[in-house]
Amino acid sequence: MVWVFGLWPREVQLSGSAVYMKEASYTELCQRDDVQWIDVRSPGEFAESAIPGSVNIPLFDDEERALVGTVYKQESPELARELGLDLYGGKLRDIVALTRKACDGRVAAVYCWRGGMRSKAVTTVLELMGVPTVRLTGGYRAYREFVTKELAALGEGYLPPVVVLHGMTGVGKTMLLQRLDREGLPVVDLEAMARHRGSVFGGIGLTPANQRQFDSALWQRLQGLKGAPYLLVEAESKRIGRVTMPDGLYQAKLGGRNFELTASLAIRVERTLMQYRLDDADAFADEIRRAVDRIEKRFSPDLRRRAYAYVEQREYRALFGILLDEYYDPRYRHAMSQYQREFEQIDGEDLDRAAHVLMGRLGELYGRLGVAICR
């Protein structure tokens, strides 16, 4: 794991030019507090994944990028470069102005996909206009390789003890973690990073993250928790929505200290409705039906009949009540029976009180200095 980074960027002379520009690897830049990441890729690339904290100031829009790429592949690199010059020549003034505004006195750390022509072009212009600039060697791809390698190395010796919050579906685990996060505890909210709540209903109202987005968010959070005496996570499966948890973190979770949040079925139904309800009633009904469709093969005939009746009637309290009681709870109890370690229960009927109790218990176990460690 690379936690401490070294030198300020080296200067590299451009071939055939007297212009000097700075270039640096991600490991040389990622912990500096005087750089602003500038992503010059297209808006579509930026939306797919980006270095956290980046501002998108694209050299080409999505259509222009596709056009240049087509010319590059089907005709020649020379014609593609000429087309690129025609497309971005008129944008340079705006790019400089937007970069100055985004950086506000900080160094512009510019990157494209591979540290190629786009970032070189923008960096050269910014340097000529007197904007302090450094280009990321290898571009976003190098950053992605770095994060992937770092997460693959997670495990014993790199992670503090992991505290795992268990509980039946709808009990309010995420709500409790959010309260503890606001109190400054070292919470790693995996569902928030995955933008998915874990169950078949977990994507309702959300746009699930892809693996690149999840990995970036996780690595950044772990960086912010260096020195924490423990990490507090929710009991998730290895796969959350569209993403997969790193092996090292998953294994650390399996061997962690376990707390179980409890609450009555009525409370759990209300919390489930609170989390999943959409303002658009028709859209919510469609999402609920699609979710039930994905799991109905595992229902008994009687549960299937009642579930679809409640879906048609839009009786969501009744629907969630039978799904929690007859589908999710038995699965949870079976999963819990696989654990060898003891579970310490926390009454979750009142989540504010539950937060207070759990904070006190964690203080006893790990010391009061564990509170507000990352603020």
pLDDT at position 299 is: 94
Mean pLDDT of 99-125: 94
pLDDT of residue 360: 96
Rounded to an integer, the average pLDDT of 333-346 is 82
Under a CB-based contact definition with an 8 Å cutoff, are residues 10 and 24 in contact? yes
Helix (H) or strand (E) holding 262: strand 257-262
Residue 260 has pLDDT above 90, yes or no: yes
> Residue 99: CB partners within 8 Å, gap ≥ 6?
38, 57, 108, 122, 126, 131
Going from the C-alpha of 348 to that of each of 30, 172, 207, 341, the distances in angstroms are 40, 8, 28, 21
Quick one: fold of 10-149?
Answer: Oxidized Rhodanese; domain 1 (3.40.250)
CA angle at 208 for the pair 291 and 205, rounded to the nearest 5°: 55
For 282, other C-beta atoms within 10 Å of its C-beta total 9
243 or 22: which carries more pLDDT confidence? 243
Average pLDDT value for residue range 314-329: 94
Paired with 244 in beta bridges are 239
Structure confidence at residue 156 (pLDDT): 60
pLDDT of residue 190: 95
Q: In the chain, which residue ranges form alpha helices assigned H by DSSP?
A: 26-29, 43-48, 62-74, 77-88, 92-103, 117-128, 139-152, 173-182, 190-194, 211-224, 247-254, 265-276, 281-295, 301-313, 316-323, 329-336, 351-366
pLDDT single digits (tens) 171-228: 999 999 999 999 999 999 999 999 887 777 777 777 889 999 999 999 999 999 989 9
Is pLDDT at 372 greater than 50 in this prediction?
no
CA distances from 361 to 260, 358, 366 (A): 13, 5, 9
What residues does each domain of the chain span? 10-149, 156-370
Q: Which of 49-63, 72-86, 204-218, 297-311 has the lowest mean pLDDT?
A: 72-86
Task: Tell me the C-alpha distance between 264 and 267, whole Å.
Answer: 5
| pLDDT tens-place string over residues 137-147 | 999 999 999 99
For residue 336, give every residue at least 6 positions away whose Cβ sits within 8 Å of its Cβ, in sequence order, or none: 166, 260, 343
Q: Which of 47-56, 89-98, 102-111, 352-361 has the lowest mean pLDDT?
A: 89-98
pLDDT confidence bin for 346, thresholds 50/70/90: very high
Among residues of the chain, what percentage have pLDDT more than 90? 65
Which tokens hold the place of 185?
A: 């505890």
112 is annotated as an active-site residue: yes
- Measure the CA–CA gap between 346 and 119, rounded to whole angstroms: 52
The Cα 371–Cα 202 span in angstroms is: 30
pTM: 0.85
Mean pLDDT of 114-135: 92
pLDDT at 184: 94
Half-sphere exposure of 8 (CA within 13 A, CB side): 8
Look at residue 157 in the predicted model and tell me its pLDDT.
66
The residue ranking higher by pLDDT, 338 or 309, is: 309
Burial of 281 (0-12, 13-18, 19+ CB in 10 A): exposed
pLDDT band for 342, please (50, 70, 90 cuts). Answer: confident
pLDDT of residue 5: 27
Pick the catalytic residue from 30, 103, 112, 374: 112
Start-to-end C-alpha separation, the chain: 23
Mean pLDDT of 73-83: 75
What is the DSSP annotation of 136-203?
ETTHHHHHHHHHHHHHHT-SBTTB--EEEEEE-TTS-HHHHHHHHHHTT--B--HHHHHTS-SSTTTT
Cα–Cα distance between 289 and 139 in angstroms, integer?
A: 43
Residue 129 tokens read as 């206009």
Residue 186: the pLDDT is 97
Token pair 């109790």: residue: 357
242 burial via Cβ count (<10 Å: 0-12, 13-18, 19+) = middle
Hey, what CATH topology would domain 156-370 get?
Answer: Rossmann fold (3.40.50)
Percent of the chain with pLDDT over 70: 90
Q: How many residues does the chain have?
A: 375
CA distance 277 to 281: 8
| Residue of higher predicted confidence among 375 and 126 | 126
What is the pLDDT, as a whole number, of residue 369?
42
Mean pLDDT of the chain: 87
Angle between the 351-366 and 173-182 helix axes, to the nearest 10 degrees?
60
Regarding predicted confidence, which is higher, 203 or 294?
294
